[in-house]
Structure 1
Amino acid sequence: MKTIEMSNYSVGESCYNEIPGVCEKYNVKKVVLIGGKRALAATEPRIREAIKETDIIITDSIVYGIECTMTNVHKLTSNSNVQEADVIFAIGGGKAIDTCKTASIEMNDKMVFSFPTICSNCSAATAIAVVYDDNGALDHYSYPHCPAHIFINPDVIAKAPSEYFWAGIGDALSKQCEVEFATQGKILDHTATMGLALAKTCTAPLLKYGKQGMEDCKNDTNSAAIEAIALDIVVSTGYVSNLTNQPEYYYNSSIAHAFYNGSCSITRDGHHLHGEVVSFGVLVLYAYAKDEENLMKMAKFNKSIGLPVTLADVDLDESHLEALTEAATKTNEWKNAPFPFTKEEFIDAIKKADAVGQSL
């Protein structure tokens, strides 16, 4: 037996006005707002305005922390105001939403509604969460239910810091190529076939609307480009994740995320967002696949919007590659490879991607 979950969603500048109707559908009376400090500041007044004429009670408004760690998860699960709520309003970016989703597991699968205030990744729609240890290294994946409903307000996203929109494009660039790479040579069931088909739609909107969306986000201006990118990152890639990540197979990510996860183990100067590093991992994937055409195409696109094209762009160099690769071999992506990966070819691919970037 297989159960496939997909979040419902509302999109548009007035989408928070749908909160009362969605809460009524799920018989929700008490909600708790949990998110990042900046995300709560951007959304809480809008949420309170949307429910002011209803009998919905907000039990608390809580800053979750800054990382998705079990330490922060347990702070939430031990909070009586969180326990009392019928649903968690998970507000912010991927780490905030992943923290809420992971906490929900330990609270008898408490329902979650997600409110992405940035579109840096697809966490708002997925039945998977990335959990880090207290030192910032990847600890494990958790597997919660996906949020029951997503409220995507492109005006909130447009007014958020543009670097998160930028990083979201970088992360979403990995979805199509990773699923295509991970499924090659496989006999796919109906669910994975749908996931692959939807994955094939994920890159085109980024290339079409990416530059305009970045410009609009920098100007705090909602636009058709902002909404198109937000829907692609949150909904399309999120749905692909839920279709390609099943108990009997894992096609959701591959070499690009193996590179990112391996890089988390390297202590170095600078701070780099998840999708920023993943976007260089996309180049590594194409180099590993010996796909010269797409390697150059994506490197040029990265360069055009300032995403990384070299190791130096993410504060790495060749002295880090052995340790990074050793860490990558322990990742979900490496263990679920479509064929056995080798350390030597992985390192060669990283060097090849770096060389192409340097040539630009």
Structure 2
Amino acid sequence: MKLENYELHLPSYSVGKEVYNQIGKICKPYGAKVLVIGGKKALSAAFDKISKNAADGGLDIIGKEIYGTDCTYEAVERLAALTSFQEADMVFAVGGGKAIDTCKCLCIECEKPVFTFPTIASNCAACTSVSIMYHEDGIFFKPHFFTHPAAHAFIDTQIIAAAPYRYLWAGIGDTYAKNYEAEISSRGEKLPHYTEVGVGFSKMCLTPMLEYGRQALEDNKKGVATEALEQVALAIVVTTAIVSIFLTRDFTPDYNSGLAHACFYALTAYPVIEKEHLHGEVVGFGVLYALLVDGQQEEFEKIYALNKELGLPVRIADIGITEEQFFETMDRIPQMSDIRHYPYVVTKEMLMQAYETIEQLPV
């Protein structure tokens, strides 16, 4: 159903090497008591810097909690029962996608302000209006949508530069996927303004990766916050989120996903995907299938070359999947909700043809 009136909330963010010095200025209007929630490694990397700048800004950190291991409703319920959460004026969500998504699910619908502090640039969770929910066993459950994103995202490029490079590496794959998925899923339709903007803006999910991707990874390996790293990090964290917000409306078709993500979510049935590989890494692999199924040979060759250059996966062996497992996955992919709104029906035969093309290419 298309509504006559709607609200669209875009993310608010700050970026730079010392962006945490803005914490007091931005957060103090919401209160003074802060509960910090994040992943164990993320808190180790960022908590001291956050704590100092929060104190300098007149904020009082009343607790520090580990979010859990997956973004689940069970984790949300556990955190919601904490006295420190109930007493806090706001939550600082620190870490990667699962930690931040857990905090968004915890806070947004009960209208407690949540501020995000991404410590890696592997996805757009810090700025999106959705949490990706999992079952307790680590298998994908469903997306949980909100009316708005977190109150503000603090993107410290020095902390991101110090993080293991594989997160930025995987983020590149997840980000350029957004361009192709948006264009394919909206093809041939008369689009409302906000969707047209999202599809057009999605080009900025691809261009910086081609221009700065290699240099950003080299700088990340050295732990240096450079212009190239900042451009790639902003595309991953901010640009992709803005596209997501424009393309995901609860009263229109979802143009925010596609075959690349369908491949990833279907593959989460195998524990090796969640245990040994990153979301964007596998999505970047899925883009190869999306482009071949869509008949975009020139774009396929471009992304295949980029994946090989950056070390992103190009074969099923690169993601620890056997031929038998991938053939099983081909039965599940056409049923995934990510391709429910697509300009054509994706079939197992299309996927098999793409598989044969990719696997026969010289290494």
TM score, norm. by length of structure 2: 0.94
Deviates further, 146-155 or 136-145: 136-145
Deviations 1:165-186 (A, max 9, x none): 1111111120111101111011
In the other structure, the counterpart of 2:7 is 3
| Alpha-carbon distance in 2 for matches of 1:352, 1:70 | 40
* 2:113 partner letter: M
Where do residues 93-108 of structure 1 align in structure 2 (5 Å cutoff)? Answer: 93-105=96-108, 108=110
* Matching residue within 343, 347, 351 for 1:346: 351
How far off is 1:24 after superposition? 3.0
In the other structure, the counterpart of 1:337 is 342
* Matching residue within 306, 315, 320 for 2:311: 306
Deviations 1:26-85 (A, max 9, x none): x32211111111111111111111122343111211111221122212211111111221
Aligned residues of 1:31 and 1:57 also touching (Cα < 8 A): yes
| Alpha-carbon distance in 2 for matches of 1:291, 1:231 | 27
Over 3 Å counting, the alpha-carbon distance change for 1:225 and 1:326 in structure 2 is same
Aligned residues of 1:118 and 1:157 also touching (Cα < 8 A): yes
Alignment size in residue pairs: 356
| 2:49 is the alignment partner of 1:46 | yes
* 2:63 partner letter: D
Aligned residues of 1:266 and 1:324 also touching (Cα < 8 A): no
In the other structure, the counterpart of 2:294 is 289
Aligned residues of 2:28 and 2:59 also touching (Cα < 8 A): no
| 2:74 is the alignment partner of 1:74 | no
| 2:255 is the alignment partner of 1:251 | yes
Aligned residues of 1:321 and 1:347 also touching (Cα < 8 A): no
| 2:215 is the alignment partner of 1:238 | no
Q: Unaligned 5+ residue runs, structure 1?
A: none
* 2:234 partner letter: L
What's the C-alpha RMSD, in Å, of the aligned pairs?
A: 1.6
* 1:4 partner letter: L
In the other structure, the counterpart of 1:263 is 267
* 1:294 partner letter: E
Aligned residues of 1:68 and 1:130 also touching (Cα < 8 A): yes
Where do residues 194-213 of structure 1 align in structure 2 (5 Å cutoff)? Answer: 194-213=197-216
In the other structure, the counterpart of 1:116 is 118
* 1:349 partner letter: A
How far off is 1:135 after superposition? 1.3
Over 3 Å counting, the alpha-carbon distance change for 1:350 and 1:70 in structure 2 is farther
Aligned residues of 1:295 and 1:353 also touching (Cα < 8 A): no
In the other structure, the counterpart of 1:328 is 333
Deviates further, 140-149 or 112-121: 140-149
* 2:78 partner letter: K
* 2:13 partner letter: Y
TM score, norm. by length of structure 1: 0.95
| Alpha-carbon distance in 2 for matches of 1:256, 1:350 | 14
Q: Unaligned 5+ residue runs, structure 2?
A: none
Q: Describe the SS at the equivalent of 1:341.
A: coil
- Give the % identical residues: 37
Deviations 1:78-112 (A, max 9, x none): 11111221221111111111111111256x13221
| 2:27 is the alignment partner of 1:23 | yes
* 2:193 partner letter: H
In the other structure, the counterpart of 1:179 is 182
